[in-house]
Amino acid sequence: MSDEARLPSPWHEFLGEIRLHRVAVTNLPEDYETRRTEMSLGQFKKLKLFAPDPYDYILSKLERNSSKDRDDADDLFKKANLSVTMLRERYQKELRPYLSNEERHDLTLDLWIEIFEANCE
């Protein structure tokens, strides 16, 4: 992202309340594009904003595994009343085959699920 997109800037004046943040490349489940939701329907002429579905969003944070990612994932898991079974299935079918250290990410997913289940009680 260029410095022009940071606050305050002409881009900020143009975009208004939209905030741009620099992000690293992340892995998303294989078919995430079929499940994403357009957030800006009809608001812009040449810009479309999409949000991943909740399961894809959580799985996109798995590889980095920071405490902020775990907290975000736990919060979303509770608020969206997600299913552990669906999360595991999507991980196994659509994300795990593309990860470089599968065993490490398996353990991370198991840990996160323990956290999700403990916090739901």
Instruction: Give the model's pLDDT for residue 20.
Output: 60
pTM of structure? 0.78
Q: Looking at per-residue confidence, does 83 or 20 come out higher? A: 83
**Every domain of the chain and the residues it spans:** 28-120
Q: Model confidence over 39-85: pLDDT tens digits? A: 888 888 888 888 999 999 999 999 999 999 999 999 999 999 999 99
Residue 47: the pLDDT is: 85
**57 with 80: CB under 8 angstroms?**
no
Q: What is the mean pLDDT of residues 22-40?
A: 87
**Gap between the Cα atoms of 90 and 99, Å rounded:** 13
What sign does the CA torsion over 11, 15, 16, 22 have?
negative
> Which pLDDT score, from 0 to 100, does residue 21 have?
65
**Can you point out the beta strands (E) in the chain?**
37-38, 50-51
